[in-house]
Amino acid sequence: MTFEAMWADLLPVGRSAATGGYHRFAWTAPELECRAWFEAEAAGRGLALEPDANGNLFAWWYPADGRRDGAVLTGSHLDSVPGGGAFDGPLGVVTAFAALDALRERGFAPRRPLVVAAFAEEEGARFGVACLGSRLLTGAITPERARALRDGDGATFADVIAEHGLDPAAIGPDEALLGRLAYGVELHVEQGRALVGPVGVASSIIPHGRWRFGFTGQGDHAGTTALRDRRDPMLPFAAMVLAARQAAERNGTLATVGKVAVDPGGVNAIAASVTAWLDGRGPVDDAVRRTVTEIERAARLAAVGHDVKVDVAEESYTPLLDFPHALRDHLRALLGDVPLLPTGAGHDAGILAARIPTAMLYVRNPTGISHAPSEHADIPDCLAGVTALAQVLEDLLEHP
Ligand code: GLV
Ligand code: MN
Ligand code: MN
């Protein structure tokens, strides 16, 4: 199965006919179809499918001598943000299988196992915490907290995974599995326009986090309630959105409110409550923290004048991640001094890097757009990614 054939198989799964955007949320029908695709690709190659207790999929190619440790892991994720692009995640999984095929075609016999991975709920689009599968695997989130996470319909992570054959009591760090991994490499579509050549190597992931702002007022009639009598949560919410932009500009950071839930959401009703999610990122931890503090202060100040209650909860925070220099510099040199670049996006590789030497490769994105339908990489660049990944894997698998 060539890269193009695998890509064509995945392309229609979960794509909206109206927008061309992808809706592949963890353990929903389209994502289950992607998982089935992964299992079929693994089986077709005679790989050993060994999913873990956290919902992550792993397909192992063992060396002839049966060695089971010192493995090189490569892959990414198959879930998407709401209305996402085709490449964020799947490109890293499809190139992983294609690179494995390239190694086999040239008769390469690995000394170490190669494991292709698809991590669960990387985007956090369903349960709110990004990289949930890799966080559970590495112990970056407690099983108790993960079990209690809820999706938009109120279903808990524990209940959803139980429905799909996983044991909620068994989730959590897997030291036995981590102990078998020597290196990790995630290939990903570049999510900005910074990459000029077809392939690059990651330097770092900037600090990023998510905060939930709840504004509670009093639901009431839009036509019969005088302005002075209103407790409208929409007003401090609006102030918070504007404050986010201003605080980001002041601190040299990024602050985004891309998701909001209004209850009950009637045109002719003052809202009873508004919940807004703030995504905050920046070059250093202090600047991100300062940005969020300033936004929270502005929200609380605006709420006082409208007699609205404000609750702020941190849903996740990931500090600056500098990929290990020895590995990234080695891979860069191996690939012919390709560009080295930081990213503002979170990745499973960043979570994995806390436990094993991990690197990332990027494939050029000519539009620079990501988390949207026009996210793109040209096929020749994707194939250059396969070649680069195969070269990297061969090198790491050869390591004594
Ligand atoms: C994942 O893509 C993120 O950066 O939120
Ligand atoms: Mn993403
Ligand atoms: Mn991704």
Determine the atom of ligand 1 nearest the C-alpha atom of 123. Answer: 1
Ligand 3 mean position to 117 CA, how many Å?
Answer: 13
**164 secondary structure, DSSP code:** T
**Quick check: CB of 345 below 6 Å from ligand 1?**
yes
Tokens 């599968």 found at: 133
Cβ 113 vs Cβ 68: under 8 Å: yes
Ligand nearest to the CA of 85: 2
Counting from 1 in the atom list of ligand 1, the atom nearest the Cα of 131 is: 1
Rg for the chain, CA atoms, rounded: 22
The model's pLDDT over 286-345, given as tens digits with 9 standing for 90+, comes to 999 999 999 999 999 999 999 999 999 999 999 999 999 999 999 999 999 999 999 999
Work out the number of other CB atoms within 10 angstroms of the CB of residue 200.
Answer: 23
Say how far apart CA 301 and CA 46 lie, in whole Å: 61
Give the residue-averaged pLDDT of 102-129: 97
Structural domains of the chain, with CATH = 3-206+320-398 (3.40.630.10), 208-318 (3.30.70.360)
Could you tell me if residue 126 is left (phi over 0), alpha (psi between -120 and 50 degrees) or otherwise beta? alpha
Angle between helical axes of 234-251 and 285-304 (0-180°, round to 10): 150
Q: What is the 3-state secondary structure (H, E, C) of 29-75?
A: HHHHHHHHHHHHHHHHCCCEECCCCCCCEEEEECCCCCCCCCEEEEE
Which DSSP category does 345 fall into?
S
Rounded Cα gap, residues 392 and 400, in angstroms: 15
Neighbouring residues of 130: CB distance < 8 A, sequence distance ≥ 6:
121, 122, 123, 124, 210, 316, 346
Handedness of CA 181, 316, 150, 258 (dihedral sign): negative
1 pLDDT tier (thresholds 50, 70, 90): confident
Q: Is 22 exposed, middle or buried (0-12, 13-18, 19+ CB in 10 A)?
A: buried
At 335, list the tokens.
Answer: 């690939």
For residue 82, the ligand closest to its alpha carbon is 2
pLDDT score at 301: 98
pLDDT tens for 163-218 read: 999 999 999 999 999 999 999 999 999 999 999 999 999 999 999 999 999 999 99
Mutate which of 259, 347, 360 for ligand 1 pocket (most atoms within 8 A of beta carbon): 347
In this structure, which residue's CA is closest to atom 1 in ligand 1? 346
Q: Is 298 helix (H, G, I), strand (E, B) or coil?
A: helix
* Number of alpha carbons in the 13 Å side-chain half-sphere of residue 31: 25
- Identity (one letter) of the amino acid at 352? L
Q: How many angstroms separate the alpha carbon of residue 123 from the centre of ligand 3?
A: 7
Starting from the CA of residue 187, give the closest ligand. Answer: 3
Ligand 1 pocket check for 189: Cβ under 6 Å:
no
For 69, 97, 297, 324, 382, the CA distances from 359, given in Å and listed in that order, are 19, 18, 38, 7, 18
- Residue in 37, 10, 35, 25 with CA at minimum distance from that of residue 83: 25
Nearest ligand to the CA atom of 371: 2
pLDDT in tens, 31-74: 999 999 999 999 999 999 999 999 999 999 999 999 999 999 99
Residue 122: its pLDDT value, please? Answer: 98
Distance 268 CA to ligand 3 centre (A): 39
124-131 average pLDDT score: 98
pLDDT tens digits along 237-246: 999 999 999 9
Q: At what angle do helices 379-398 and 90-105 cross, to 10 degrees?
A: 60
Percentage of residues in the chain with pLDDT exceeding 70? 100
| Residue 76 CA, ligand 3 centroid: distance in Å | 7
Flag whether pLDDT at 277 surpasses 90: yes
The residue contributing the CA closest to ligand 1 atom 4 is 345
Residue 201 and residue 335 in contact, taking contact as beta carbons nearer than 8 Å: yes
pLDDT of residue 400 exceeding 80, the answer is no
Residue 270 has pLDDT above 90, yes or no: yes
Query: What pLDDT sits at residue 365?
Result: 97
Kindly give the number of the ligand 1 atom that is closest to the alpha carbon of 191.
2
Q: What is the pLDDT of residue 273?
A: 98
pLDDT band at 361 (very low <50, low <70, confident <90, very high): very high
What tens digit of pLDDT does each residue of 132-146 get? 999 999 999 999 999
pLDDT of 399 reads 83
